[in-house]
Chain A
């Protein structure tokens, strides 16, 4: 079975500051890794994904994440945040099997203050 731990439940930052949202996972098999964002009263939107290859992946809205296999981590970063980045962020994994379910972490609420 897979599990995901998001190390911070809430991250408050000021506008234009850098931010890192931390994610660690556990799995006995190889996995795909995802970050989703959820705005209030909306569904989840994919930010970025790691499938294979380069460990640094770039996503939408200026976000990027780095896969670290030895530390089983997939931390999300943005060099300069905006008020509009305020949302809940979820890290997720799935095994490399066609049609596999996503296993989510508990989420990190990012709040960007002016």
Chain B
């Protein structure tokens, strides 16, 4: 596997339900990012991990959102009590240690909240 993978690719849920997404970064990449992209907009940063440590969180990441990267490899993003406004594409990216920040993106998980 040479790319970032995300699962599931699509998720339809009812308002109020909890959902969890998974991201598997490129092997050996120690940095992992989550972004959210709504229709017609560019991706917006949510949070960032270096190894297992969550180093930065956006104000977009309300208390209903939680992200983990327990062993410094894959990461999960959980949304509790989903709202219709959570409908978006959730993108994961990873990058290697280096002096610039080229990030490699996965295909995304499209969430639809009914």
Contacts and interface: CB of A to CB of B under 8 A. Distances in A.
Interface footprint category on A = 20 to 34
Contacts of B104: 46
A45 B106 CA distance: 9
A26 to B, nearest CB: 15
B79 interface: no
Nearest to A31: B101
B85 interface: no
B50 A90 contact: no
A44 interface: yes
Interface in A27-63: 32, 34, 36, 41-46, 49, 51
Contact of A103 (B41, B45, B56, B91): B45
B108 interface: yes
A74 to B, nearest CB: 14
A94 interface: yes
Contacts of A90: 42-43
Given A34-B102, A101-B56, A102-B101, A43 B107 contact: yes
Interface of A: 4, 32, 34, 36, 41-46, 49, 51, 90, 92, 94, 96, 98-107
Given A99-B50, A99-B55, A101-B56, A44 B102 contact: no
B103 interface: yes
Interface string B25-52: 0000001010100001111110010100
Contacts of B56: 101
A99 B91 contact: no
